[in-house]
Amino acid sequence: MKKLYIQTYGCQMNQYDSERIAQVMGRMGYVPTEQIESADLILLNTCSVRDRAEQKVYSALGRWKDLKQQRPGLIIGVGGCVAQQEGETLLNRVPHLDLVFGTHNVHKLPHLVEEVLISRSRPVETAFYRDPSYMEDPEGRARVQGAKAFVTIMQGCDKVCSFCIVPHVRGREVSRPSAKIIDEIRALAQQGVKEVMLLGQNVNSYGKTSPGEISFAALLSRVNEIKSLDRIRFTTSHPQDLSPELIEAIATLDKLCEHLHLPVQSGSDSVLARMRRGYTRADYLVRIRQLKSRCPDVSLSTDIIVGFPGESDDDFTATLELLRQLEYDEIFSFMYSPRTQTVSAKLYEDDIREEVKKERLQRVLNLQRGISLRKNKQRIGAVEEVLIDGESKLKNGQMTGRTRANRIVNVVGVEALIGSVVPVQITGAMPNSLIGELVTAAPVFNSQIEGEMA
Ligand code: SAM
């Protein structure tokens, strides 16, 4: 039996792609292994959104050179965003690399591996497709482990954010047909999956480039009808596409979790304009007000970039003020890193010094730590519905799970609860997680798997 080792960098979309990679290669007889030394095929699924993504890839490939020397039959491939961006350059720079496949080409992987095996050629496949069928597996999705599953509903992005590499490495927006998405989720629910996370770079513009397709809010409403599913989440949304219809869906669909990740990036209008985000601070605040007036308990998270070119002290202060005003439940903050091919890298000098970027990042993190802790403390005493995921990272015998509002809860419990939705009384709070006690040992929020319909 041939063994496949996959190393995944980056976002949930890459994790989903790695699952697909394992599935398509499984049909060629490859079984996944955790031991890189025993692998016959090593695939690196890469991300290039931030930081030193390319260097990270080259150094991983450098580390694997010895493995290739020891076992010349070993095949090494690179996929994902860096593969899409670098293409042939990767092969030229890394002589022991065998193949490169881009973000739209997971389905081609078996052919590429076969080419290497048969002719020892070094194939590169980085074509983009507008027809969404490249995202479908003719044999459907393999069984998934656990109670949660990612489901990609679209790829690419048609926004023009000046800092973002995504449109360059994932292409224009392409939405999967809603019927395929519904079929996939229905099959997952029948296997016992309780929660799906709908994935895309800009999920709330789902369907806009597919004539006749339903809207994102309508898709959510169809998913909500799938009987044995308990929870629906989605990420990422763009503020421009937060429509009244989507707000109504969040307010009314019982399975849709009360949580919205809505990246704002900056609180300064001049930075937002240079980022080409397509909204002002005031526009963003109006959207949040509309959302909160219909869904007062919705939990909010966001992304922040500090140190964007030209970000003055006043611009940065405006971001801190926005964080104080909106009191997000959680934020993800990053230091700006110029990405080749992007407009901001071409137009603006990366003029904020590294120490200033670091200091601003730290100030954002400190501020948010206080806000998150205060908000988490407000939950003490409440009974929350928690989907138990597995053992806590703290390795203290506790189980961990998430509330509908996406807060992590560590709870003393038994392993048998993994995959169940249980009521948990919150007894303690930390900045990034809650502590709780099981209210009853029996899962009470579980739906039935029988009588599936959608
Ligand atoms: N679709 C999302 C949006 O609304 O823009 C982008 C998703 S991106 C994969 C995740 C986050 O990475 C972005 O929201 C942004 O905060 C950050 N990011 C993207 N490009 C970046 C860059 N060049 N430098 C620093 N952070 C970046």
Query: From the CA of 336, how far away is ligand 1's center (Å)?
Result: 9
User: Each residue of 353-378: pLDDT tens digit?
Assistant: 999 999 999 999 999 999 999 999 99
pLDDT-based confidence at residue 72 (cuts at 50, 70, 90) = confident
Percent of the chain exceeding pLDDT 90 equals 87
User: Each residue of 9-57: pLDDT tens digit?
Assistant: 988 899 999 999 999 999 999 999 999 999 999 999 999 988 788 889 9
Evaluate the CA torsion angle 207, 10, 434, 438 in order and state its sign.
positive
| Mean pLDDT along residues 68-78 | 94
How many CB atoms sit inside 10 A of residue 437's CB? 14
Q: Are strands 383-391 and 41-46 parallel, antiparallel or unpaired?
A: unpaired
| Mean pLDDT along residues 247-276 | 98
Which residues contact residue 306 at a Cβ distance below 8 angstroms, ignoring those fewer than 6 apart?
A: 316, 319, 333, 334, 335, 336, 357, 360, 361, 364
User: Each residue of 376-404: pLDDT tens digit?
Assistant: 999 999 999 999 998 888 767 899 999 99
Residue nearest to atom 13 of ligand 1 (CA): 303
Query: From the CA of 445, how far away is ligand 1's center (Å)?
Result: 35
**Per-residue model confidence (pLDDT) at position 97:** 97
Q: Is the pLDDT of residue 447 over 90?
A: no
Percent of the chain exceeding pLDDT 70 equals 97
Query: From the CA of 446, how far away is ligand 1's center (Å)?
Result: 36
Burial class (CB in 10 A: 0-12, 13-18, 19+), 381: exposed
Query: From the CA of 49, how far away is ligand 1's center (Å)?
Result: 7
Residues framing ligand 1 (Cβ under 6 A): 11, 49-50, 161, 163-164, 166, 201-202, 236, 238, 263, 265, 303, 305, 334, 336-337, 339
Q: Point out which residues pair with 261 in neighbouring strands.
A: 301
Q: Point out which residues pair with 196 in neighbouring strands.
A: 149, 232
CA gap 303, 334 in Å, rounded:
8
User: Each residue of 325-358: pLDDT tens digit?
Assistant: 999 999 999 999 999 899 999 999 999 999 999 9
CA gap 427, 399 in Å, rounded:
15
User: Each residue of 159-174: pLDDT tens digit?
Assistant: 999 999 999 999 999 9
Residue nearest to atom 6 of ligand 1 (CA): 201
Q: Is the pLDDT of residue 453 over 50?
A: no
Q: Are strands 421-429 and 383-391 parallel, antiparallel or unpaired?
A: antiparallel
Residue nearest to atom 16 of ligand 1 (CA): 303
Q: Per mean pLDDT, which range of 101-110, 331-340, 421-430, 439-448 is the poorest? A: 439-448
Tokens 């009521």 sit at which residue?
423
How many CB atoms sit inside 10 A of residue 197's CB? 18
3-state secondary structure of 55: helix
Query: From the CA of 13, how far away is ligand 1's center (Å)?
Result: 14
CA gap 134, 114 in Å, rounded:
19
Burial 205-242 (b: 16+ CB within 10 A, else e): bbbbbbeebbbbbebbbebbebebbbbbbbbbbbbbbb
For ligand 1, mutation pick of 9, 305, 344 (most atoms within 8 Å of CB): 305
Q: Give the DSSP letter of residue 134.
A: G
Radius of gyration of the chain (CA): 23
Query: From the CA of 52, how far away is ligand 1's center (Å)?
Result: 14
Residue nearest to atom 14 of ligand 1 (CA): 303
Q: Give the DSSP letter of residue 50.
A: S
pLDDT-based confidence at residue 94 (cuts at 50, 70, 90) = very high
CA proximity to 424, closest of 407, 100, 432: 407
**Per-residue model confidence (pLDDT) at position 117:** 95
CA proximity to 165, closest of 312, 54, 62: 54
Q: Is the pLDDT of residue 225 over 80?
A: yes
Q: Is the pLDDT of residue 451 over 50?
A: no
Structural contact between residues 141 and 148, judged by C-beta atoms closer than 8 angstroms: no
Task: Give the predicted TM-score (pTM) of the model.
Answer: 0.93
Query: From the CA of 164, how far away is ligand 1's center (Å)?
Result: 6
Q: Give the DSSP letter of residue 178.
A: H
Residue nearest to atom 27 of ligand 1 (CA): 50
**Per-residue model confidence (pLDDT) at position 132:** 94
**Per-residue model confidence (pLDDT) at position 16:** 92
| DSSP-assigned states of every residue in 278-312 | S--HHHHHHHHHHHHHH-TT-EEEEEEEES-TT--
| Mean pLDDT along residues 88-104 | 96
Structural contact between residues 250 and 291, judged by C-beta atoms closer than 8 angstroms: yes
| DSSP-assigned states of every residue in 194-260 | -EEEEE-TTGGGTTTTSTTPPPHHHHHHHHHT-TT--EEEEE---GGG--HHHHHHHHH-TTB-SEE
CA gap 130, 198 in Å, rounded:
20
Q: Is the pLDDT of residue 454 over 70?
A: no
Alpha-carbon distances, residue 254 vs 151, 243, 251, 267, 420 (angstroms): 19, 19, 8, 32, 18
Nearest ligand 1 atom, CA 161: 5
For ligand 1, mutation pick of 11, 48, 49 (most atoms within 8 Å of CB): 49
**Per-residue model confidence (pLDDT) at position 424:** 95
Largest interatomic CA distance in the chain: 65
Structural contact between residues 377 and 429, judged by C-beta atoms closer than 8 angstroms: yes
Q: What are phi and psi of 429, to 5 degrees?
A: -140, 140
User: Each residue of 179-189: pLDDT tens digit?
Assistant: 999 999 999 99
10: left (phi over 0), alpha (psi -120 to 50) or beta: left
| Mean pLDDT along residues 306-331 | 98
Structural contact between residues 97 and 62, judged by C-beta atoms closer than 8 angstroms: no
